[in-house]
Structure 1
Amino acid sequence: MPPTDGAPQWTDRNFRRSLGIAHLQIHDWTTGHADLHWANVTHAPLVVLDWEGWGLLPVGYDLGFLHACALTAPATAARLRQELPRF
């Protein structure tokens, strides 16, 4: 989980390991969940659970992670893109 103070180092290390990206220039950071997947989201009412790993993240990280988790269910991924078009 990304700690707030080490977010740029965490991002560089994990993006390099997972995606093969050597160095990422991230200009916009925000507070985020850091583990946003479907098991951490309830419906009616909408509640986001499991916040122990929250911290400073690149803008869009949480939505990107949620979208990646939805790719095994194409209709869900399409709905997410429809509801969040700027994503």
Structure 2
Amino acid sequence: MHITKRVLLAAAAASLLVAGHGATAAASESAPASVQSTPAAGPGWHHVADFPPAEEHRCHERGRWYLENGVRAYECRPAGVWELWVLTEPS
């Protein structure tokens, strides 16, 4: 049953990434081309979205949504834009 839950969570996260790609792409367009994401903090961390520099609150709102829907943790990292990273596996 745990495997089914993980598969469903992964599928839901993937569909959100695909659905939110247009908004994420628009947010990324305002970022300088030289911005590089920082390496993940460890296994299981995934970069899922970018938010414009003035919209850190949106990054935290989305991060809380992921927490409510099964991820173990999230981080909003400043990198010219706010990068949302989620932890889906035990560290």
Q: What band does the TM-score fall into relative to the shorter chain?
A: under 0.3
So what's the TM-score if we normalise by structure 1?
Answer: 0.26
So what's the TM-score if we normalise by structure 2?
Answer: 0.25
